[in-house]
Each structure stands twice: as structure tokens, then as C-alpha cells.
Amino acid sequence: MKTVAVIVQDGFAPFEFGVACEAFGLDRTDDGIPSFDFRIVTPEPGAVHSKMGFSINVDHDLSFAYEADLVVVSPVPHQYWSSVDERVLDVIRRAVARDAWVLSVCSGSFVIAASGVLDGRRATTHWMYADRMAAMYPAVDVDPDVLYVQDGRIITSAGTAAGLDACLHLLRQELGAEMTNRIARRMVVPPQRDGGQAQFIDRPLPRVQSLSLAPVSDWMLDNLRDELTVDQLAAKAHMSPRTFARRFKADFGATPAAWLARQRIMHAQRLLEKTDLGLDRIAYESGFGSAAVLRQNFSRALGTTPTAYRARFCCTDEARDAVVPTLESVA
């Protein structure tokens, strides 16, 4: 991925628009991260009005978006959902047809849905609008409980900060876990959040209690290779298993088992990128026990094999050389 076009239209949401700019538009080459040819585009260049009462001046029309490797769709106000500019819809259809990435932030998913490319696919949007999206586009499988959905090379995200989760998810696939972690650190955000929108729907945000569980979660990260049970973790937290499981999910947005599985995958990614360790050793260090179990979980979580991931993202000559015989034997 080298070129990124962000489509803005009148009534765009500044924060969600800024998320795309932050994720893809900053020059981070001083951190060893490749930069993108990033442009903001609109159907009619000139002043584009935000929903907050100010305007930005956009110099580029949609021409660049027709060739971009990634097309990002910013949200537009609900009054425009049923009358999206046909030129924008054409860009989206052509992007999907040529297998480019398409990503929406929040209600930008309505724009993608209007193009028809989400028919028969799974997607998401802000939980407040999920029922409306399902009613407007019954051919789309709308999931209101997740932070983002990837179906093929189309990524739709939930409200506001979930757009950043979706951007980081895409960057992990294009740049690897290590570089994406660097980007997240500069943003001062977690590189990957667990849980979904369900924790925010129609009830107050959970009271933050993560500090009380921080020693346990740190210990879990230090002992990924071991078999860790809820009973064992609850004992370390001086809680009953039931209370611990409930508190952990409220704080981290996932069950202890799901959170632990995600951390093990992320640790395996780091080892594949930065070391020349064999798969059996990586499986042991990550807590999967065997290469076969590692492959199964890795493929289910990331849609690729550990060997293919290393071939694409390894950062050392030794690790890169170790991949060659494996690839040749497969060929």
C-alpha cells in the first residue's frame, strides 16, 4: 500500500476525518516507517464544510482516488445517507473491482453500502445507527457489536475511536505488528483493543478499575508460555473466579481467555518479525505448545500462516533467510 485517498464531503465529521489523517497522513520516516502518498479528495475541489461550522479547502478532485491503494470514506450527515454523490459511489465500486482497500469510519459505512459493494457482506457502523443501516440495506449483514469488520478488502468501523482501531488493523496487515506498534505508541493508544461496541450500548461506561488488575495482566504477559486458568489468575488478584472474570471483562473488554489468546498471537507476530526462531520454539514461547496449534490459531486470527507472515514482515536477515527453504519447498 503506497497511495491513500480520503474522501470528504460537506458535513464531514472532523474527528473521524482526523483519524484517517493521523493514521495515514503523517510522515513517520524518522521512526523507520514508510510514508504514504496521502491526499484529501472531494467531488468538487474548494471549500468543504464540516458539521462543526468550519470549512477546509480541498485542492484535489476524485481523480487520485481512482488509482489509490486505499480509499477512506469519511462520515457524512444522516440527511445525505440516501443521496450520496454518484461520483463517490463510482470511486468505491471501482476500488472494490480493482481489489484496492476501502475503509469507512463510523457512519461512512452508509456511503459504502449505498454503492452496493456491501451486499452479501458483513459490516458494522456506530451502534446508534446499526438498525437503520440494516433497514436501509437488508442485503448487508450488519453486526452492531464489534469495533470493526473486515470482509475481503473492505473494512467498516464503529463510532469515533473505533475508526482508529480499524486503521491500525489495516496497518498491521500492510506494515506488520512491529511498525504498527510504533505508530500506536506515537499516538499514545493501544495497538489493538479487545471487545466490541456492546460494552457501550445503552448503559454507562464501565468504571475504570484496570489499575487493580494491572499486576495480574502484567504477570500474564510475562508468563504467556504457561497454561493460565481463571482460578489461578483470580487467586493472584485475591478475588473469586466469578468476580475476577466479571471485572476483567469490564476493564479489558474481553474475557481473560480471549485477551490472553490475543496477546499470544501478538507475541508470536513479534517473534516472527524480529527473530529467526523456528515455529516450534515460537509456539512454546507464545503459549501455543506446538507449531500445529500455533498455525491453527494464527490463521484463524490473521487469515494467513506464520510462515507467510514471516516472509512478508521479518526484520532480520537470519529470519528472512530461514524462510527461503520453506517457501521453495512449498513451491
Give per-residue pLDDT as tens, 187-234: 877 666 655 554 444 433 344 444 578 889 889 999 999 999 999 999
Helix or strand holding residue 156 (H, E): strand 154-157
Dump pLDDT digits (tens) for 258-267: 889 989 998 9
Predicted local confidence at residue 79, as pLDDT: 86
116: which residues sit within 8 A by CB, 6+ positions away?
93
C-alpha dist (Å) from residue 9 to 35, 64, 99, 329: 25, 16, 24, 51
Residues 105-161: tens digit of each pLDDT: 999 999 999 999 999 999 999 989 999 999 999 999 999 888 899 999 999 998 878
Residue 207's pLDDT is 41
Report the pLDDT value the prediction gives residue 117, as an integer from 0 to 100: 97
pLDDT at 329: 31
Name residues whose C-beta falls within 8 Å of residue 303's C-beta, 6 or more positions apart in sequence.
Answer: none
Q: Given phi > 0 = left and psi -120 to 50 = alpha, else beta, which region is 11?
A: left
Could you give the CA distance from residue 45 to residue 231 in angstroms, rounded to a whole number? 60
Return the pLDDT at 193.
Answer: 64
Question: Rounded to whole angstroms, how far apart are CA atoms 22 and 20?
Answer: 5
Query: Which domains, and CATH codes, for the chain?
Result: 3-187 (3.40.50.880), 206-253 (1.10.10), 259-330 (1.10.10.60)
pLDDT at site 202 = 43
Beta bridge partners of 154: 102, 151
The residue written with cell numbers 457489536 in the block is 145
* pLDDT tens by residue, 106-120: 999 999 999 999 999
State the average pLDDT over residues 73-87: 90
